Amino acid sequence: MDKKKRIFSGMQPSGELTLGNYLGALKNWIGLQDEYECMYPVMDMHAITVRQVPADLRKRSLDVLMQYIACGIDPEKSLLFFQSHVPQHAELMWVLSCNTQMGELSRMTQFKEKSQKHADNINAGLFTYPVLMAADILLYQADVVPVGNDQLQHLEITRDIAQRFNHHYGDTFTIPEAYTGKAGSRVMSLQTPENKMSKSDPNPNGFISLLDSYDDIIRKFKRAVTDSGSEIKASPDKPGVTNLLSIYCAVTGKTLKEAEEEFDGKGYGDFKLAVGETVACELKAVREKYEYLAKNKDYVEKIYKESAEIAKKIAEHTMRKVRKKVGFTAI
């Protein structure tokens, strides 16, 4: 039997996850668990490039891990742990930093954007963030990395760093490939459908949190922005309607054509209510499982501690190879 390929992805603990995270990433992750050997850590080390309140970071990190499980990530099939619990991430980052060019990092779009947002804290970690991301992936010899378009640049620099290291020191790292998932999983804001749905949206009606109540979800969809005209069709000049149709299709599994036919002749009010009810029903089970996990922290702790121990063994296997290649003296 062929060995399963390894897939690696994670999210930062920057708050409650949204419907965009669920449909754009988590739902894909769930579907990959039988086909791949999956590793889905919470990326808490990445989070500290921005100033954090320590107690809040700990709480959010645990919340995100519990939301992973609540959404359907199976601890029996996937490794779920905190990035900071595996010290080899930082160790490999240093080695890779010495094999990464300043010019490469200065061209990274995310560094430019975050520098503008956090002008009072343009720290070295923000600059070398892509090297830590490369270490995350290469440490586990990941074959495949699920990425959105906004992360493709980071995967490209990861591949460049790995190829450069392999060229200088001999075959060491697996060169990871991108897994872009199914089309139509990019979820836009309910209030400004030209922008991606984000939990940092200043308008709370623009995003759906995975932990929103049933009533809140319905209310937000009823307030969702639509477009001029009354036809329920996906079109570049109808971003609001197109976004709602995409969400409906992503949750139900229907095609865009099937969804358009279903709502043919219906008004925007009925359409928005139907999409809202579909999403609210889908997320009800997520919220209930999260509430169960929040009351059973010992079970959650057992999961992330056992996963971290397995992750450390995989990571240490890579690091032994790396230390030898670069010329460090063996312990």
CB neighbour list of residue 120: distance below 8 Å, 6 or more residues apart? none
Other C-beta atoms lying within 10 Å of the C-beta of residue 151: 15
Q: Round to whole Å and give the CA distance between 95 and 78.
A: 28
199 is catalytic: yes
H or E stretch at 144: strand 144-146
**Distance in angstroms between the alpha carbons of the first and the last residue of the chain:** 36
Other C-beta atoms lying within 10 Å of the C-beta of residue 294: 14
Are the C-beta atoms of 178 and 151 separated by less than 8 Å? no
Catalytic annotation, pick one of 27, 114, 220, 238 = 114
Q: Round to whole Å and give the CA distance between 126 and 99.
A: 18
Catalytic annotation, pick one of 5, 117, 196, 324 = 196
Are the C-beta atoms of 144 and 216 separated by less than 8 Å? no
Catalytic annotation, pick one of 199, 233, 312, 325 = 199
Q: Round to whole Å and give the CA distance between 138 and 159.
A: 9
In 3D, which of 15, 10, 89, 83 has the Cα closest to residue 53?
Answer: 15
Question: What angle do helix axes 54-71 and 268-294 make, rounded to 10 degrees?
Answer: 110
Q: Round to whole Å and give the CA distance between 91 and 279.
A: 42
User: Which residues are marked as active site?
Assistant: 114, 196, 199
